[in-house]
Amino acid sequence: MTLCKKTALVALGVIVSLSALADSDGHSAAPWTVKDLHANLASMPVGDVARGEKLNADMMCASCHGEGGQALSRNWPSTAGQRTSYTYKTLQDYAEGRFVKHQGAEAMAALSAMLTQQDMADLAVYYANKNLPTASVQLALSDDAYRQTDYLVRQGDVKRLITPCASCHGVKGEGGINETPALAGQEAYIFERSMQSYKQGVRESDVHSAMRQIARQLSDGEIEQLAAYYATLPKSNSTR
């Protein structure tokens, strides 16, 4: 790590408190178009796993996201096993302000702004090389709730124009094409927060507002159940 990055990290606390004071309706970056995103992902530098591992430790990512991206608490997302393209894109989203209005993203915005595209690619392949995570909290769903949620995941809901989650995120929540993230084993609290951020329109990272439109159709109860459902994957697949 360069001295410059170390100094910058020391200043992180200051940046975080300053950005918390900033106008919550402040700047956010232009939305992605499909064309821009494809061009961006196509020009991703080749990632270096060993360098990613070192950055994960040196840039303090591991202090929240854990060694190898297995989160240390329910309050932080696991990044292990995540698709390279999603991590690479998301770090740029934080750096460029697509999460600006989304509470809790200040530290990530400040840290990501210090990363080069090469750093982002290295971290992304390092996480992608790990297995999917295990959520620290496993919330039990009643059989009825499980059935309803599994139906929503696999069949969607035609009446509300909800496309099945599995058609994009994979049947086991393993992630899909391009930037479509893995969801299996993610902390339920984080999953719920992401969905609520889409629902409330404060997370502006999704192309064509696709996730915002889906989240708006879901009740808070359904979101809670989906979070519990995905937190138990992939383990539940072998028994259910």
Q: In the complex, which residues of this chain contact ligand HEC (CB under 6 A)?
A: 59-61, 63-65, 76-77, 79, 87, 89-91, 99, 102, 104-105, 107-108, 111, 123, 152, 162-163, 165, 167-169, 179-181, 183, 191, 193-195, 205-206, 210-211, 214, 226
Q: Shortest approach of ligand HEC to residue 105 CB, angstroms?
A: 4
Q: Shortest approach of ligand HEC to residue 26 CB, angstroms?
A: 16
Give the span between the Cα atoms of 156 and 174, in whole angstroms.
18
Q: Shortest approach of ligand HEC to residue 233 CB, angstroms?
A: 12
State the CB neighbour count (10 A cutoff) for residue 134: 17
Q: Shortest approach of ligand HEC to residue 23 CB, angstroms?
A: 18
Q: Shortest approach of ligand HEC to residue 88 CB, angstroms?
A: 9
Give the span between the Cα atoms of 126 and 137, in whole angstroms.
24
Q: Shortest approach of ligand HEC to residue 238 CB, angstroms?
A: 21
Ramachandran sector of residue 38 (left: φ over 0; alpha: ψ -120 to 50; beta: rest): alpha
Cα–Cα nearest to 106, from 210, 202, 37, 182: 202
Residues 1, 58: contact at Cβ < 8 Å? Answer: yes
- Using CA atoms of 68, 43, 27, 30 in order, give the dihedral in degrees to the nearest 10: -130
Which is nearer to ligand HEC, 123 or 141 (by Cβ)? 123
Q: Shortest approach of ligand HEC to residue 142 CB, angstroms?
A: 19
- Using CA atoms of 66, 69, 180, 142 in order, give the dihedral in degrees to the nearest 10: -70
Which is nearer to ligand HEC, 202 or 235 (by Cβ)? 202
Cα–Cα nearest to 114, from 133, 137, 130, 91: 91
Which is nearer to ligand HEC, 61 or 132 (by Cβ)? 61
> Which value, in Å, is the radius of gyration of the alpha carbons in the chain?
18
Give the span between the Cα atoms of 186 and 70, in whole angstroms.
9
